Amino acid sequence: MKTRVKVIVPATSANCGPGFDVLGAACNLYNEFTYELTERGFELEVTGEGSERLYASGKNLAFSSFFRLWNEMTDRRYTGLKVTMHNRIPLSRGLGSSSTAIVAGLMAANYLTGSTLTKEQLVNYATEIEGHPDNVAPALLGGFTVSYMAHNRANSLRFIPAHELRFIAAVPSEPLSTARAREAIPETVSHKDAVFNAGRSALLVSALLTGEYKYLPDALEDRLHQPYRMPLITGTQAVFKAAKNVGAYGAIISGAGSTLMAYASPQADCEKIGAAMKLAFEKAGQQAVYHVLKLDTEGARVVDN
């Protein structure tokens, strides 16, 4: 009987500009989780991001997602669960840190109960917990994902772009909660804006699949969420402009923010793009750090077992 598993889960960037609540991409920045069945109650050890504000509780997503699946899959008794996390993904910055906890719990429970569910099935459980699929799907499947709901089920089509890309994530000091960033979006939008976004997100997927990256500057534009969220992230316009000025295809608000992410060719000077974005944030009054990231193509995985 297995009692211990280690899972690593990638950061994710939802929306990818125009694909609000639909598109997502996994990046090569990872949180690591070890789950161990014990006889000592709930225990949590955290190093790295969020270590000062996460504690063991049935409400912690790393525990609740584990039990959501465990209780459905087995009658096996346990008297304790120890979760050890090493977090590299900053919290409340639009890089899918809460999705990593949800996905890790589900992956661990699935593994310890005999690995009977596929990752596609886990996307559905994860979406039920998260509320929208666009972070959990790429976190599980890797690559870019197009996710949608049909008959109350989350479905996700994963794809890998024709050519490599780099993602330059500029992470500002100020966090932004997803709830607040969602409240900023109006209930309804104009038909014109809906058409704009339908066109841009179709163009984005086509450009990525065909490798026609000259379309990316237009394809990354959005009118469904970014214009409403920009005022919540000091410096957004300046950071977008700075990234484009030094060679990025374009930049977007990663997920609900507050990270801003530039898309660039591997041949571009990505360090220069990162430095320009950081400087633009600083000029606007916010400290920032940046990461030059690649696409993660595998998604969450069990390691070291």
Q: What is the CA radius of gyration of the chain?
A: 19
Strand partners for 4: 36
In the complex with ligand HSE, the residue whose CB is nearer, 26 or 256, is 256
Cβ 99 to ligand HSE shortest distance, Å: 7
Give the span between the Cα atoms of 269 and 163, in whole angstroms: 17
In the complex with ligand HSE, the residue whose CB is nearer, 21 or 212, is 21
Cβ 132 to ligand HSE shortest distance, Å: 5
In the complex with ligand HSE, the residue whose CB is nearer, 20 or 70, is 20
Q: Number of H helices and number of E strands within the chain? A: 10, 11
In the complex with ligand HSE, the residue whose CB is nearer, 11 or 85, is 11
In the complex with ligand HSE, the residue whose CB is nearer, 34 or 87, is 87
In the complex with ligand HSE, the residue whose CB is nearer, 181 or 219, is 181
Cβ 80 to ligand HSE shortest distance, Å: 31
Cβ 166 to ligand HSE shortest distance, Å: 22
Give the span between the Cα atoms of 107 and 115, in whole angstroms: 8
Cis previous bond, 254, omega within 30 = no
Q: Are 168 and 290 in contact (CB under 8 A)?
A: yes
Cβ 15 to ligand HSE shortest distance, Å: 5
In the complex with ligand HSE, the residue whose CB is nearer, 88 or 182, is 182
Phi, psi of 25 (to 5 degrees): -140, 145
Beta-carbon contacts of 151 under 8 Å, excluding residues fewer than 6 positions away, are none
In the complex with ligand HSE, the residue whose CB is nearer, 103 or 256, is 256
Give the span between the Cα atoms of 7 and 295, in whole angstroms: 18
Cβ 9 to ligand HSE shortest distance, Å: 15
Cβ 247 to ligand HSE shortest distance, Å: 26
Cβ 158 to ligand HSE shortest distance, Å: 17
The residues of the shown chain that bind ligand HSE, judged by CB under 6 A, are: 14-15, 20-21, 132, 134-135, 178, 181-182, 225, 255-256
Q: Are 293 and 28 in contact (CB under 8 A)?
A: yes
Q: Are 42 and 14 in contact (CB under 8 A)?
A: no
Listed residue (184, 168, 166) closest to 280, CA to CA: 168
- E strand segments, the chain: 4-14, 23-38, 41-48, 80-87, 144-150, 153-159, 166-172, 250-253, 260-264, 288-293, 301-303
> By three-state DSSP, how is residue 295 classified?
strand
